[in-house]
Amino acid sequence: MYQIDAYEYIYLLGVVPLIWGVFAWVQSWKNRLQSRFVNTELLYELSPNRSKFKPLLKLILLSLAFVLLVFGLMNPKIGTQLETVKREGVDIVFAIDVSKSMLAEDIAPNRIEKSKRLVSAILNQLASDRIGIIAYAAQAVPQLPITTDYGAAKMFLQGLNTDMMSSQGTALDNAIDLAGTFFDDQDQTNRVIFLISDGEDHSEEAAQAAARAAELGIKIFTFGVGTENGAPIPLKQNGVTESYKKDFKGEVVITKRNSEILSAIAEATEGYYQDGNDTQQVLDFVSEQLKAMDKKEFEAKKFVSYKDRFQPILIGALLFLLMDLFLFETKTKWVEKLNLFNENDHAK
C-alpha cells in the first residue's frame, strides 16, 4: 500500500517537454547558423572531437534527474505495517434505482443524480459501518460487496447511470432479494437496506420480498425521490433534450413518485419511509436511526504505518545530475575506438 503526500507537484513534469522543445529549437538554430558559414564536412574537420550524441545524452540525463526530483517532492510513502483493528457498526446495503424514470427532472438536477448525492452525503457521515451497493432497474446487479472502503463506494457510486441496464423497469423485489444475500455475517444483529427510488414499481412482488427480508432480520428504510405531481422523462442527445418518452398511444409519459409502495415496503420490515428530496432531513434521520441500533464488533485490516521513500529517489536524481555534470560534449576516446555509430567511416 502506498500514498502520496503532495500530488500538486506532479504538474512540474510539464517542464520536461518544454526543456526538450527548447533543446530542439537551439539545435536547429545552431545548425542553420553553422550552415551559413561552413559545410558539414569542413566543420567536422575543424572540430573532430565534437560528439553528435553527447548533447542528447546529457539532455536525457538532465530530464531523468528532473523527473526524479519531482517524484521526490511528491514524497511517496509505502505502508509497512498492516494492523487488524476492531470496529463497531451496522451492515448497510444501498439499493439504488437506475431505471429510466429516474431521469425525470422534477427534483434538480434529476432523480438519479439526486439519489447519488444523497448516498454520498450519507457515506460522509458514516464512521465504522460496513456498506454495499446494488443498482437495479428491471433486474438487480451487485456493484460493491460489503466493505469498509468508503472511497471505493464513492467511485462505484459515480459510475451509476440509467444506461447500465439493457432492460428497463423497476423491480423492487429483485433489489430486496439481492440485498439480502449481501449480509454474510450470521451474528450481525442489525442489517439494514437503504432503498433509494421513486417507487414506480409495476410488479406486485415487492411486498413479498420485503416480508422475506423481515424473516432474515433485515430492516428496510426507503427514501423517495421525485414529486407526487411527477414529470416527463426527457430523451437527450449530447445533453440537449430532444423529446420526451411516450407511451404506445403517443402520449408523453408522466412518472410520479409512489410513496405508498415505498412506505409499505419499509413498514413490512419495521423500517421507515423518508422523503429523499431534503438531504439534511435524511441525514438527521439516518444518524438518529443508526445511533439507536446495536452495533456489531468486527475486524478490519488497514495500514497504520507509512515510511517516507523520497530518499532513494533523490539519490537517483543526484546521480543523474553528477553524470550530466561530468559528461563532456567531446568524444570519449574508448567509445570512439569502438566506432559504434560509424563516425570514423564518415570522417574518411
Distance in angstroms (rounded) separating the CA atoms of residues 184 and 132: 12
Rounded Cα distance, 276 and 274, in Å: 6
Segment 126-148 shows an average pLDDT of: 89
The enclosing H or E element of 193 equals strand 191-197
Per DSSP, the three-state class of 112 is helix
Instruction: Tell me which of 276 and 298 has the higher pLDDT.
Output: 276
Per-residue pLDDT averaged across 94-100, rounded? 93
How confident is residue 342, by pLDDT bands cut at 50, 70 and 90? low
340 pLDDT more than 60: no
pLDDT bracket for residue 252 (50, 70, 90): very high
Contacts of 205 (CB under 8 A, 6+ apart): 173
CA distance 168 to 294: 38
Amino acid in position 142: P
Residue, of 5 and 73, whose pLDDT is higher: 73
| pLDDT confidence of residue 251 | 92
Q: Is 86 or 237 the better-scoring residue by pLDDT?
A: 237
Q: Give the chain's end-to-end CA distance (angstroms, integer).
A: 58
* pLDDT for the residue 131: 92
pLDDT (0 to 100) of residue 348: 45
Q: How much is the pLDDT for 111?
A: 95
Residue 280 has pLDDT above 90, yes or no: yes
Residue 91 to residue 129: CA distance in whole angstroms: 6
DSSP label at residue 247: -
Beta strands at 191-197 and 91-97: parallel, antiparallel or unpaired: parallel
Cβ(256)–Cβ(229) below 8 Å: yes
**Residues 68 and 347 sit within 8 Å (Cβ to Cβ):** no
Cis geometry, peptide bond prior to residue 109 (ω within 30 degrees of 0): yes
Cα separation, 145 vs 132, whole angstroms? 5
Query: Domains of the chain (ranges plus CATH)?
Result: 2-79+307-347 (no CATH), 91-294 (3.40.50.410)
Give pLDDT, residue 346: 47
Q: Is 23 helix (H, G, I), strand (E, B) or coil?
A: helix
Identify any residues that bridge with 95 across adjacent strands, giving them in sequence order.
134, 195
More confident residue, 296 or 102: 102
Q: 278 vs 201, which has greater pLDDT?
A: 278
pLDDT at position 334 is 46
Beta bridge pairs of residue 147: 131
For range 84-93, the mean pLDDT: 78
List, in order, residues 6 or more apart from 135 with CB less than 8 Å away: 96, 98, 141, 143, 160, 164, 165
pLDDT at 46 over 80: no
- Examine the pLDDT at 43 and tell me if it is beyond 70: no
